[in-house]
């Protein structure tokens, strides 16, 4: 302990004497440890920390699965059969999420909520903070309308009213009695803020109307595997019993935790690997710095050894220095990590779940400290041992540095080789993501997002109680907005492309039963110019027209995918279609339009139906304005147009269509940005490493270069010599790195789109990039070498 204290004081004094060395090392380590800490913070919250429910490992989600299409939600009849047949679950509940119109206690607003079976809260095992949750049978037809609300909604809208239980609030135009308030921090999937009962016993639900997410709690002692095999048995029985609807549906049981992070896990694991590589490069650089310093410290070490210090004691002292460096670096790294996490949150990415919970807590701090001690030993040990053991004592006391450090140079070259290899791997990863991202941006989405201004609006029940009042206000808004100079077309719709999460079952005249996907469509309510605004092409028949109003016969336009999948390509014009959205009558199909991308730009097309807004207006609407010039230039006029129609209507999310789209590209964009930052870091660190090693090598070779110049070497010869020496380990590193990249990039297959993990263009590109940067890093020392004064160098003996 006494020794440690002494060593620490001595170490601090050494740093103060060589502030440049200490700062460079600390900054390098701060970058490496900071990146690792930030990613660990995310991984810890997202992948490692259990869900905020009691016994979270007992919770599982159950999904249907079509062999060619992937997982789907479940229909009510299937859910009922699963509940009967899968005994491994103590509770099996179902819910469906959506937007809910809320009135009472303030201005009407739209909140996210879920309809849940009565045993939903029991399944999750969470008790309310106030009142009660639902009781058995409360979800059945005829029971009183009750609602459970979340802590956030309770505080925000109802001022944390302690007498909340028993109050009446209006949900979707019906009065509901508040049964309970959930504790802070409780949320079902997503940001749900209120829960109302869902009756799954209603015999009217069709077998192929999938809208339920099923969550179960295992009996004590039961396993997921048991649940899976029981589900397989039930699903098999249903397939035999209902071959026309259930023949190709399988079932899947997934632990809730795994399910939540399903999308984020591969990216997070890749990030974890990437930051580990960055840290290794940082360590190599600091080891290089220490080696350079080691030559300057030989004499000190030799004197200490001569005065009787043991080698072990000296190594300990040197390691104290390097660990101290790393700990200071970790301190700075924690600050960088906090910044990085803020930036990640600010990016608004949603593909990493529970991002809001991520913070620098004691776990993360402890991780950073442990990392510091580990890396301090990792980068400090080799230089320390070399320093203490490599030099014969008498020689070190008598002689200068030369000769003795030849081995040091070999070690340093090996470090450069390693750095180059690691940098190539990271660059390859980032390069592949970049190419994927470019490809994704080039995907034909079926509409043209350029030159469109959009915003969102809710038409509250209080002001517009029914369809008779909704339709005129929408009409007036369209008319007003179209009057703005520079506006070419205006559409009001229930949803814009890539944003709808609405899927409904439907009936279609002459429908062909299919097995290659779900039986759902995506329904849209739109005003006639929707197709013009978005540039969705007409394939046959006609588009919707102004004359398709409430007094005209109901009409619909469908997309090509619907015709292909549900009509086997037969002519759809004139057929009747009825979407189960509460509309009373079936609509006649009058036209076919192109497919529009939905659910992420790279997903397969989905069947879509467009019906006139005038024949069934929605309260939550999106306004899309096609402009001749820059869309944001008319933002104020668009606001004014709305205010002229109704000054009380607040408008939200005013932005261009392209900005909205950026949202659906966040996962690839964030992945690319994160890995890109790490790769850039690696590149810079590697360049610094190459530069450092070469500068040191040049200093050591001054005499040799002087001799060569005296013997006739010209500047070009000297440059070639130095650059050759510098690039040799880099070339080795590039080869090794390309090999490593070929092995490792395969792990990121799932993050890539339209590019092979072993894409030769990307690999060649990153090899060239690193080569160019390395060449630049060698260029400066090479130029310095050509300026060696031969006379000076030869005299210096």
Partner 1 sequence: MNPLIRLRGVEKRVPAGGAYHYLLRQVDLEVDRGEFVTVMGPSGAGKSTLLAILGLLDADWTGEYHLDGEAMHGLAPKRRQALARERIGIVFQQYHLLDDLTVAENLDIPLSYRNVKSSERAALVADTLDRFGIVAKKDLYPRQLSGGQQQLVGVARALIGRPAILLADEPTGNLHSSQAREIMEMFRRINGEGTTIVQVSHSAENAAYGNRVIELKDGWVVSGGVSARAGMQ
**How far apart are the C-alpha atoms of 263 and 407, rounded to whole Å?**
48
Pairing of strands 89-103, 250-255: unpaired
Identify the residue among 713, 739, 764, 778 touching partner 1 (CB under 8 A): 713
**How far apart are the C-alpha atoms of 451 and 428, rounded to whole Å?**
35
Q: What is the DSSP string of 323-336?
A: HHHHHHHHHHHHHH
- Segment lying near partner 1 (by CB under 8 A), choices 102-110, 576-584, 647-655, 709-717: 709-717
Burial grade of 586 (CB within 10 A; 0-12, 13-18, 19 or more)? middle
Q: Is 711 in the site for partner 1 (CB under 8 A)?
A: yes
* CB proximity list for 413: less than 8 A, separation 6 or greater: 693, 728, 729
Report which DSSP code applies to 46. Answer: I
Q: Taking CB under 8 A as the criterion, which residues in 625-654 touch partner 1?
A: none
CB of residue 4 to partner 1, shortest distance in Å: 42
Identify the residue among 704, 742, 775, 786 touching partner 1 (CB under 8 A): 704
CB of residue 277 to partner 1, shortest distance in Å: 33
Closest CA to 797 of 721, 707, 714, 711: 707
CB of residue 796 to partner 1, shortest distance in Å: 10
CB closer to partner 1 out of 743 and 796: 796
Identify the residue among 438, 717, 732, 754 touching partner 1 (CB under 8 A): 717
Identify the residue among 346, 584, 712, 787 touching partner 1 (CB under 8 A): 712
Residue 388 tokens, joined: 């203490």
CB closer to partner 1 out of 63 and 696: 696
- Segment lying near partner 1 (by CB under 8 A), choices 150-158, 460-468, 575-583, 705-713: 705-713
Q: Is 790 in the site for partner 1 (CB under 8 A)?
A: yes
Q: Is 714 in the site for partner 1 (CB under 8 A)?
A: yes
CB closer to partner 1 out of 13 and 795: 795
CB of residue 409 to partner 1, shortest distance in Å: 11
Q: Answer whether 86's CB lies under 8 Å from 93's CB.
A: no
Identify the residue among 160, 233, 644, 710 touching partner 1 (CB under 8 A): 710
Q: Is 784 in the site for partner 1 (CB under 8 A)?
A: no
CB of residue 697 to partner 1, shortest distance in Å: 12
Determine the size of the site formed for partner 1 (CB under 8 A).
16
Q: Answer whether 138's CB lies under 8 Å from 197's CB.
A: yes
CB closer to partner 1 out of 313 and 703: 703
- Segment lying near partner 1 (by CB under 8 A), choices 53-61, 381-389, 618-626, 699-707: 699-707
CB closer to partner 1 out of 145 and 399: 399
CB closer to partner 1 out of 564 and 784: 784
CB closer to partner 1 out of 50 and 724: 724
- Segment lying near partner 1 (by CB under 8 A), choices 99-107, 361-369, 434-442, 702-710: 702-710
Q: Is 403 in the site for partner 1 (CB under 8 A)?
A: yes
CB closer to partner 1 out of 342 and 789: 789
Buried-state track 453-462, b at ≥16 Cβ within 10 A, e below 16 = bbbbbbbbbe
H-run or E-run covering 488: strand 487-493
CB closer to partner 1 out of 127 and 409: 409
Q: What angle do CA 31, 284, 405 make, to 5 degrees?
A: 140
Residue whose token pair is 């000076």:
792
Q: Answer whether 471's CB lies under 8 Å from 646's CB.
A: no
The HSE-up count of residue 440 (CA atoms within 13 Å, CB side) is: 23
CB closer to partner 1 out of 538 and 791: 791
- Segment lying near partner 1 (by CB under 8 A), choices 249-257, 578-586, 711-719, 725-733: 711-719
E strand spans, 527-617: 538-541, 555-559, 576-579, 587-593, 608-612
Per-residue contact string for residues 574-593; x = within reach of partner 1 by CB under 8 A: --------------------
CB closer to partner 1 out of 413 and 608: 413
Q: Answer whether 627's CB lies under 8 Å from 487's CB.
A: yes
Q: Is 708 in the site for partner 1 (CB under 8 A)?
A: yes
Q: What angle do CA 204, 205, 209 make, to 5 degrees?
A: 150
CB closer to partner 1 out of 3 and 402: 402
Q: Is 356 in the site for partner 1 (CB under 8 A)?
A: no
| Rounded-to-5 percentages of helix, strand, coil across the chain | 55, 15, 30
**How far apart are the C-alpha atoms of 45 and 356, rounded to whole Å?**
9
Q: What angle do CA 231, 236, 242 make, to 5 degrees?
A: 120
Q: Answer whether 671's CB lies under 8 Å from 344's CB.
A: no
Q: Using a CB cutoff of 8 Å and minimum separation of 24, what contacts does 336-342 make?
A: 336/30, 336/31, 336/34, 336/35, 336/37, 336/38, 337/34, 337/35, 337/37, 337/38, 337/41, 337/364, 337/368, 340/34, 340/35, 340/38, 341/38, 341/41, 341/42
- Segment lying near partner 1 (by CB under 8 A), choices 130-138, 167-175, 262-270, 707-715: 707-715
CB of residue 788 to partner 1, shortest distance in Å: 12
CB of residue 410 to partner 1, shortest distance in Å: 12
CB of residue 406 to partner 1, shortest distance in Å: 8
CB closer to partner 1 out of 645 and 713: 713
CB of residue 720 to partner 1, shortest distance in Å: 11
CB of residue 342 to partner 1, shortest distance in Å: 53
CB of residue 706 to partner 1, shortest distance in Å: 8
Q: Is 794 in the site for partner 1 (CB under 8 A)?
A: yes
CB closer to partner 1 out of 240 and 795: 795
- Segment lying near partner 1 (by CB under 8 A), choices 21-29, 335-343, 547-555, 704-712: 704-712
CB closer to partner 1 out of 658 and 792: 792
CB of residue 691 to partner 1, shortest distance in Å: 23
Q: Is 399 in the site for partner 1 (CB under 8 A)?
A: no
CB of residue 402 to partner 1, shortest distance in Å: 9
Q: Is 797 in the site for partner 1 (CB under 8 A)?
A: yes
Residue 290 tokens, joined: 């220490």
CB closer to partner 1 out of 574 and 724: 724
Which residues does residue 624 pair with via DSSP β-bridges, in sequence order? Answer: 454, 491
Q: Is 791 in the site for partner 1 (CB under 8 A)?
A: yes
Q: What is the DSSP string of 203-219?
A: TTS-TT---BEEEEEEP
Residue 177 tokens, joined: 């009695």
Identify the residue among 49, 703, 731, 740 touching partner 1 (CB under 8 A): 703
**How far apart are the C-alpha atoms of 659 and 189, rounded to whole Å?**
26
CB closer to partner 1 out of 180 and 706: 706
Identify the residue among 707, 742, 775, 780 touching partner 1 (CB under 8 A): 707
From residue 541, give the alpha-carbon distance in Å to each of 148, 577, 588.
Answer: 48, 15, 12
Q: Is 395 in the site for partner 1 (CB under 8 A)?
A: no
Angle between helices 264-306 and 406-442 (to 10 degrees): 170
Classified as helix, coil or strand, 376 is helix
> How far is Cα of residue 538 from the mean position of the Cα atoms in its chain?
35
**How far apart are the C-alpha atoms of 778 and 780, rounded to whole Å?**
6
Q: Is 787 in the site for partner 1 (CB under 8 A)?
A: no
φ, ψ of residue 223 in degrees (nearest 5): -115, 165
CB closer to partner 1 out of 718 and 767: 718
Q: Can you give the binding site for partner 1, defined by CB under 8 A? A: 403, 703-704, 707-708, 710-714, 717, 790-791, 794-795, 797
């Amino acid at each position: 302990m006494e020794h440690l204290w002494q060593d620490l004081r001595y170490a601090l004094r050494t740093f103060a004497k060589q502030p440049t060395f200490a700062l460079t090392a600390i900054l390098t380590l701060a970058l490496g440890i900071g990146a690792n800490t930030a990613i660990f913070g995310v991984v810890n919250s997202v992948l490692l920390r259990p869900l905020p429910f009691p016994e979270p490992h007992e919770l599982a989600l159950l999904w249907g699965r079509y062999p060619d299409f992937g997982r789907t939600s479940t229909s009510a009849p299937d859910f009922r059969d699963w509940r009967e047949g899968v005994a491994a679950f103590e509770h099996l509940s179902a819910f469906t999420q959506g937007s809910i119109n809320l009135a009472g206690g303030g201005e009407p607003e739209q909140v996210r909520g879920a309809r849940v079976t009565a045993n939903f809260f029991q399944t999750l095992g969470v008790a309310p903070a106030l009142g009660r949750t639902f009781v058995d049978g409360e979800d059945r037809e005829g029971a009183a309308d009750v609602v459970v609300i979340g802590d956030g909604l309770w505080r925000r809208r109802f001022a944390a009213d302690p007498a909340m239980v028993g109050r009446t609030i209006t949900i979707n135009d019906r009065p509901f009695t508040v049964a309970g308030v959930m504790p802070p921090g409780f949320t079902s999937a997503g940001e749900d803020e209120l829960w109302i009962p869902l009756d799954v016993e209603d015999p009217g639900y069709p077998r192929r109307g999938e809208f339920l997410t099923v969550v179960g709690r295992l009996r004590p002692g039961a396993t997921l595997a048991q649940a899976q095999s029981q589900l397989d048995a039930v699903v098999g029985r249903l397939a035999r019993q209902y071959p026309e609807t259930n023949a190709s549906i399988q079932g899947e049981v997934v632990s809730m935790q795994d399910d939540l992070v399903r999308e984020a896990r591969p990216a997070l694991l890749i990030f974890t690997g990437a930051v580990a590589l960055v840290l290794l490069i940082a360590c190599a650089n600091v080891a290089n710095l220490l080696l350079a310093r080691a030559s300057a410290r030989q004499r000190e070490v030799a004197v200490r050894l001569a005065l009787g210090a043991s080698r072990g004691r000296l190594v300990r002292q040197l390691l104290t220095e390097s660990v101290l460096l790393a700990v200071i670096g970790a301190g700075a790294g924690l600050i960088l990590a906090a910044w990085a996490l803020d930036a990640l949150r600010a990016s608004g990415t949603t593909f990493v779940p529970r991002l809001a919970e991520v913070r620098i807590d004691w776990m993360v701090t402890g991780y950073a400290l442990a990392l510091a001690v580990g890396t301090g030993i990792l980068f400090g040990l080799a230089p320390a041992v070399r320093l203490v053991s490599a030099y014969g004592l008498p020689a070190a006391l008598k002689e200068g540095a030369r000769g003795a450090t030849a081995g040091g140079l070999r070690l340093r070259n090996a470090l450069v080789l390693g750095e180059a290899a690691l940098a190539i791997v990271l660059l390859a990863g980032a390069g592949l993501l970049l190419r994927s991202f470019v490809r994704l941006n080039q995907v034909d989405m079926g509409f043209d997002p350029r030159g469109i201004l959009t915003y969102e609006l809710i038409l509250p029940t209080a002001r517009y109680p029914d369809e008779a009042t909704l339709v005129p206000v929408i009409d007036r808004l369209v008319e007003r907005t179209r009057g703005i100079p520079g506006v070419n077309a205006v559409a009001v719709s229930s949803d814009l492309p890539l944003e709808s999460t609405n899927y409904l079952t439907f009936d279609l005249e002459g429908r062909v039963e299919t097995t290659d996907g779900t039986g759902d469509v995506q329904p849209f309510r739109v005003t006639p110019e929707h197709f013009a605004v978005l540039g969705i092409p007409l394939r046959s028949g006609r588009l919707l027209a102004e004359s398709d109003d409430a007094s005209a016969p109901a009409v619909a336009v469908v997309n090509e995918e619907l015709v292909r999948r549900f009509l086997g390509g037969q002519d759809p014009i004139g057929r009747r279609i009825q979407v189960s959205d509460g509309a009373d009558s079936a609509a006649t199909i009058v036209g076919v339009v192109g497919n529009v991308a939905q659910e992420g730009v790279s997903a397969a097309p989905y069947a879509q139906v467009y019906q006139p807004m005038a024949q069934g207006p929605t309260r939550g609407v999106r306004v899309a304005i096609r402009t001749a010039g820059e869309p944001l230039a008319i933002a104020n006029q668009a606001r004014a147009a709305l205010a002229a129609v109704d000054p009380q209507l607040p408008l939200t999310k005013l932005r261009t269509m392209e900005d909205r789209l950026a949202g659906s590209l966040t996962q690839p964009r964030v992945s690319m940005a994160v890995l890109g930052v790490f790769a850039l870091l690696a590149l810079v660190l590697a360049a610094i490493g190459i530069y450092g090693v070469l500068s040191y090598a040049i200093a050591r070779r001054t005499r040799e270069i002087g001799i060569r110049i005296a013997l006739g070497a010209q500047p070009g010869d000297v440059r070639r010599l130095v650059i050759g020496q510098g690039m040799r380990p880099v070339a080795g590193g590039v080869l090794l790195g390309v090999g490593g990249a070929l092995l490792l990039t395969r792990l990121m297959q799932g993050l890539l789109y339209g590019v092979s993990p072993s894409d030769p263009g990307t690999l060649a590109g990153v090899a060239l990039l690193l080569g160019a940067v390395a060449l630049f890093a060698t260029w400066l020392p090479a130029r310095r070498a050509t300026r060696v004064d031969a006379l000076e160098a030869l005299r210096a003996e």
